[in-house]
Structure 1
């Protein structure tokens, strides 16, 4: 995406309809899963986002042929000529993405070796790859750290393992699934993440021929099979994008119909949205989110792994909470550095204080580590336009919402980051009647 800066004239309600495609957090992993098949896969409802482009490039340097199907939202992924790639090529295509780590299990099965460069990602917390490396060692992989990255090998193949995660990491759970399905024997994963995107990945792997049982108390059992075929699958909608547009409707006194959004995956968000004072209507083809008038109400939120309130939901909603009458508290328990985005909101007139203490109902793993992971938002406050630089994906969209709801003119720079997870967001802003000018 070549756009770098938006100049926004705020204070205008966003109204209209936008359409969602597949979830960023599922589609990119589904593309990687195609490597495991002996035949091509067809993935539908693929969004036009930069993270998809990154994974496509990584697949292609590994010999996977990627083409479009009936339209640009359908990808055909042919893994029949998978091959090793040069570290420099992997590094060049990966950029700041952490997705290369999930290539390791499939490539170890197919080629007996895998390479990953130093990994980046949004600046919202440590997010170490230690979980991933330890998981792969449990399966029998040999891990060698090099100055340019990490080399892994499995000369005698991979075997099933018992894996216990100290925290329900989505990425580590995906790593186990993508590695265990072709491993020799049975894998038992305890402490697994069970997000809807994880369950949809399991659906895909089962279509390919995998045997996966989801038990109670975050336990997943995988019986390794000898071979997998390709899949045909329509990706789950992006619930993070849906929540972001819902928060935008609330913050701008707007009315946005989010086509493709579904109630079951949004249940926890919808409860909080209603408590704040937002209104919604559930339809077969989407959800209408709107500000019904009157005062917004303060809430206390603790982010958590599914089925709790998602960490990706809190940043956009914080903008709306600046307009609530009273004091709201948000306790972030998933990523320890996710409140860096509030500095810009304060510059725009918000009253937000961040604290090192756990200000929720329970003490979390960040409570004794000096991370500012709780926020107190006092309102209502009128935001005024300012110059803002996007720090990360969700924080960046939150800055957009703030600028759209503020009085006066704002300049939001580094907006290309937002394209990592929000398909055609500029076109969607136009559809919703936002007043802005694209620069750069």
Structure 2
């Protein structure tokens, strides 16, 4: 199993282009099931998660072609017909978001058999709201032996759906199913994340009629069919925030390009509060730190536009070297402090109680062997390693490959000493 080794102490200086958003790309890929014409997605990241979903879509009848196009990395997905409505456990379990093929399959073919996604290391994350939304649209749902059997032989019907709490996945899933349902669907208490607006723009380019994405109320007027389209994936706000924190941790000056800084205003405000230099530009943001110790600040995760839970672990790593004590409250997922014990192996002073962690800044972190527990936790250990004395080795980095494209190359281009140790023992820069 591959590992990443980091020699800490090098300041970061240079430019990092931000890739397309993983959390958006995988839902846009699922939209290809809704039309018999090609969907061309540009600014596409090349990640383990997109490969997992591509494999599943291929099984369902979608041809998936990756290439370098005139607009950079692109993926063309084409499903002239759905050859199978069966999504097996061995594919769905690899990535929870692949469960979102269920709605498009029902909408287009009237039936589907999709595995439940199973557990998650950062919380239960049930799919109840997904299934309730599909039932409200007229699908008959049966659960048997770990699979969802869904039928809507007469098609889906528009409905009023009120989510009992905000769910990004359920909002996206309902949108994907409702665009070719008969009638009008209104989603109340919808998630407001930017990826939902990206999905709306892609679906509308395909001929859908969706309004209100990015607000708590989304209205979908069903159409008879969708057509092909070209759509550019939104820049990845979590990757942008991650590299912003990395620059603050290591010191130096890093320009993040192909980015939309307003998408991470909640993080950038906290970096400025901590004493980091932040300059918003026309195509991204510049992060500066001259070597002075940062101040401890508190954060509390919240749905967008609040502080993203997917940036909590990275910010905790930053606070391990800040002057003073910071409190970090996690309100989105339970069990999302599993990176704390690994940061403590590097010398961090952290205590966790329920959904709150207290981080008392230390003068120096020391390199050590640590283990990644999930995608965002794994990159927090890399960030900590950038400033730790000596060598830090992060194992189980398959988590990193799910969500960060060319991580080592982007960091080393700015002066970091980061290398991948292949499972055969060879190092790869």
For normalisation by structure 1, the TM-score amounts to 0.91
Q: Which of the residues 135, 138, 144 maps onto 2:142? A: 144
Q: Which of the residues 293, 296, 312 maps onto 2:294? A: 296
What whole-Å deviation, never above 9, does each CA across 1:231-272 have from its counterpart, x for those lacking one? 211111001001111111111123222121122212222111
Distance in 2, matches of 1:190 and 1:246, equals 34
Cα shift at 1:86: 4.3
Distance in 1, matches of 2:266 and 2:135, equals 36
Task: Tell me which residue corresponds to 2:231.
Answer: 233
Distance in 1, matches of 2:35 and 2:363, equals 54
Task: Tell me which residue corresponds to 1:422.
Answer: 404
Counterparts in 2 of 1:328-347, with a 5 A limit? 328-347=326-345
| SS of corresponding position for 1:15 | strand
Distance in 2, matches of 1:5 and 1:121, equals 25
Distance in 2, matches of 1:414 and 1:44, equals 30
Distance in 2, matches of 1:57 and 1:217, equals 33
Preserved contact between residue 192 and residue 214 of structure 2 (Cα < 8 Å): no
Cα shift at 1:41: 1.1
Distance in 2, matches of 1:296 and 1:104, equals 46
CA RMSD, Structure 1 to Structure 2 (Å): 1.8
Preserved contact between residue 44 and residue 235 of structure 1 (Cα < 8 Å): yes
What whole-Å deviation, never above 9, does each CA across 1:8-56 have from its counterpart, x for those lacking one? 2222223222211210011111111121123211100001111110111
Preserved contact between residue 38 and residue 229 of structure 1 (Cα < 8 Å): yes
Q: Which of the residues 112, 122, 130 maps onto 1:124? A: 122
What whole-Å deviation, never above 9, does each CA across 1:139-169 have from its counterpart, x for those lacking one? 1111122224222111221111111112111
| SS of corresponding position for 1:73 | strand
Distance in 2, matches of 1:436 and 1:204, equals 36
Distance in 2, matches of 1:82 and 1:426, equals 38
Q: Which of the residues 19, 22, 37 maps onto 1:21? A: 19
Q: Which stretches in structure 2 are left out of the alignment for 5+ residues?
A: 424-429
Task: Tell me which residue corresponds to 2:391.
Answer: 409
Task: Tell me which residue corresponds to 1:395.
Answer: 377
Cα shift at 1:219: 1.2
| SS of corresponding position for 2:141 | strand
Cα shift at 1:409: 1.7
Preserved contact between residue 159 and residue 184 of structure 2 (Cα < 8 Å): yes
What whole-Å deviation, never above 9, does each CA across 1:58-107 have from its counterpart, x for those lacking one? 111111111135437111111212221545xx333334211232111110
Q: Which of the residues 305, 308, 311 maps onto 1:310? A: 308
For normalisation by structure 2, the TM-score amounts to 0.94
Cα shift at 1:333: 0.8
Cα shift at 1:286: 2.5
Preserved contact between residue 38 and residue 227 of structure 1 (Cα < 8 Å): no
Distance in 1, matches of 2:372 and 2:184, equals 45
| SS of corresponding position for 1:222 | strand
Q: Which stretches in structure 1 are left out of the alignment for 5+ residues?
A: 356-371
Distance in 1, matches of 2:147 and 2:311, equals 33
In the alignment of these two chains, the number of paired residues is: 420
Task: Tell me which residue corresponds to 2:210.
Answer: 212
- Residues 307 and 86 (structure 1), Cα distance of their counterparts in 2 relative to 1, 3 Å cut: closer
Preserved contact between residue 97 and residue 169 of structure 2 (Cα < 8 Å): no
Distance in 1, matches of 2:118 and 2:255, equals 34
Task: Tell me which residue corresponds to 2:170.
Answer: 172
Preserved contact between residue 100 and residue 116 of structure 1 (Cα < 8 Å): no
